[in-house]
Amino acid sequence: MDEDKSSRRRGGREQTTRDILDAAETLFAERGFTAVTVRDIAAEAGVSHALVHRYLGSKQDVYRAMLVRNEDVLRSAASGADELLTAASLMLREGLMHQRRYVRLIAHSALHGLSYERTSGRFAATERLIQLAGAAAVSEGAARDPDALDPRFVVASVVALFIGWIAADEWVLSASGLQEMSDEEITDSLERVMLQLLRENLPAAGGGPASK
């Protein structure tokens, strides 16, 4: 009986923590880090602000916990891909179709002065792409151009394009007169741009998804 009660209490706390993190994700995505308070998060989650502090800690602790639970979400979309361009394509499409809020939170972190270490301290999707890019570069062996760009920099540039696009896509599309593009057209076009950047700057990346 005591074990049953303990299990119910644990389940209740886990669900409440999920509710708090869901509420925090919604608010941070809408307003950014600085404009949201613990009281705001508590109200959105339907709990007291004291409970938020007890379960998760400060606002920064909540923010970090929210990012940590999502840190593998893009990487997992390409869990079976061992080739750079394929992995990049799968992550891109997952981000555009299903993970815009999470990626916008990454952008908010940078724009509001939250250092990488103060947030989740890692970005698993980028780590995987760098790993694959490094492996591709090594495969070139002695034939590698000594003036070639560092694979990490190439991946960083593509990731910056991806994050920036999701953070500002509506503004950019309007500024460029591209409001009539469908979501499918945007996804296909952005994929072509990103993969071409990888192909041109990491020749060993090879084929991957064909250009459309």
Complete DSSP assignment for 74-112: HHHHTTT--SHHHHHHHHHHHHHHH-HHHHHHHHHHHHT
- In tens digits, the chain (212 residues) has pLDDT values of 444 444 445 568 999 999 999 999 999 888 888 899 999 999 999 999 999 999 999 998 999 898 888 888 889 999 989 999 999 999 999 999 999 988 888 888 887 777 777 776 778 899 999 999 988 877 655 345 667 789 999 999 999 999 999 989 999 999 999 999 999 999 999 999 999 999 998 877 765 554 44
Fold topology of 2-69: Arc Repressor Mutant, subunit A (1.10.10)
Q: Cβ distance 89 to 208 under 8 Å?
A: yes
Nearest to 96 by CA among 25, 154, 167: 167
CB 158 within 8 A of CB 198: yes
Q: Where in the chain is the domain with CATH 1.10.10.60?
A: 2-69
Domain(s) of CATH 1.10.357: residues in the chain: 71-205
pLDDT at 76: 93
Look at residue 98 in the predicted model and tell me its pLDDT.
92
Do 92 and 191 form a contact (C-beta atoms < 8 A)? yes
| CATH number of this structure's domain 71-205 | 1.10.357
Measured over the CA atoms of residue 26, residue 27, residue 29 and residue 30, the dihedral's sign is positive
> d(Cα 90, Cα 183) in Å, to the nearest integer?
16
